[in-house]
Amino acid sequence: MAKINFGGTLEDVVTSEEFTLDMARKTLKNETVAVLGYGVQGPGQALNMKDNGIDVIIGQREGGASWEKAIADGFIPGQTLFPIEEAARRATIVKYLLSDAGQVSCWPAIKACLNPGDALYFSHGFGIVYKDQTHIIPPENVDVILVAPKGSGKTVRRNFLAGSGINSSFAVFQDYTGRAEERTKAIGIAIGSGYLFPTTFEKEVYSDLTGERGVLMGCLAGVMEAQYNLLRKHGHSPSEAFNETVEELTQSLIRLVAENGMDWMYGNCSTTAQRGALDWAPKFKKAVEPVFDELYQSVISGNETEIVLRVNSNPDYRKNLQKELDVIKNSEMWQAGVAVRSLRPENRT
């Protein structure tokens, strides 16, 4: 692995120049990879591996929307698309990409399908780390590995098609064959990772659950709503409030951050914006630090996973989820967003 300096700390990373796609193909040439679940991560990872010449089959509940999506994506029932258990039996590497609640309910059946020397693959440490809640305890005669792309399944696919990639962490929980790390790196490269960095199952799930509830989704949504509502309260129009809160962030500033970092984004804004951001950033940091402390403790204690498993196992989960999502969708802020997006030049032609 290559040593890279991350802000003064040296870390090991694996790049596609170091562990090439040809090496990945050679490592996986006698393997059949079953992707169980064709919802969030499944499609992107499966299609990228397929395009990279890996022997991929899909395991999905027959007849549902995801089954039909797999067919639309080119997987053939009875050849490369099977019911979940059959796919698991056919595979040497079982990618367990069902929802966390789905993994819990299917685990006894999947465990019975594993053969000595198989690899059980996760893209999230949830099931293994919180085994007291999930009861997912792998047999001792299989490899247990993880590659966790740092983005949604749609981004995994989109970046791959664009010729880039999305960074992924990787970990080995159990090495039965002596080949677990090699298999893990090969899968990571085969799904199109920009680079791979090592972690553990524990660190992956702690950072992932914190990030989703924090900056990446929960905090972002909450802060956006707070600023939008403040501007509306003081008489600003929906268009002005949305543009100053969301559109400028997503269409301009965050792209500058992605390109060269926060300091570079500051450096390419007005001096008035620079001064205000530099003065107010510490105040926001101080305000949210206690919330992040509370969040992290809730994650490592298992409280967050207990909530997820309880709520997501409810028979009415999908219906109730849609109600919550519709509240967001139908709010003035995000209806303003629909209007703003429709007025982008590319959407008017």
Give the domains, in start order, of the chain with CATH numbers.
2-199 (3.40.50.720), 214-348 (1.10.1040.10)
Lowest mean pLDDT among 111-115, 151-155, 156-160, 249-253: 151-155
Look up residue 226 and give its amino acid.
A
Q: Specify the pLDDT at position 164.
A: 87
Helical residues (DSSP H) of 11-135, grouped into ranges: 21-27, 42-51, 65-72, 84-90, 100-113, 126-129, 131-134
Q: How many CA atoms lie within 13 A of 11 on its CB side?
A: 14
Q: Is 140 helix (H, G, I), strand (E, B) or coil?
A: coil
Distance CA 323, CA 216 (A): 22
Position 49 pLDDT exceeds 70: yes
SS3 121: strand
CA gap 4, 17 in Å, rounded: 14
Q: Is the pLDDT of residue 34 over 90?
A: yes
pLDDT for residue 2 = 81
Residue 182 sits at the vertex; the CA angle it makes with 53 and 194, to the nearest 5 degrees, is: 60
* pTM for the structure as a whole: 0.91
Q: How confident is the model at residue 40 (pLDDT cuts 50, 70, 90)?
A: confident
Of the candidates 124, 135, 234, 236, the residue annotated as catalytic is 124
Q: What percent of the chain has pLDDT over 70?
A: 100
For 108-177, strand residue ranges (E) read 119-122, 143-149, 166-174
pLDDT score recorded for residue 349? 67
Extract the tokens encoding 99: 């929802």
Asked whether the predicted pLDDT for residue 348 surpasses 90, the reply is no
State the Cα–Cα distance between residues 244 and 14, nearest whole angstrom: 39
For the cut 80, the answer to whether the pLDDT of residue 177 exceeds it is: yes
Q: Are 48 and 191 in contact (CB under 8 A)?
A: yes
Mean pLDDT score, 14-37: 96
Q: Other CB atoms closer than 10 Å to residue 3's CB: what's the count?
A: 8
The C-alpha atoms of residue 138 and residue 173 are separated, in whole angstroms, by 10
What's the whole-number mean pLDDT along residues 317-329? Answer: 94
* Residue with more model confidence, 64 or 296: 296
How much is the mean pLDDT over the chain? 95
Asked if 124 is an active-site residue, the reply is yes
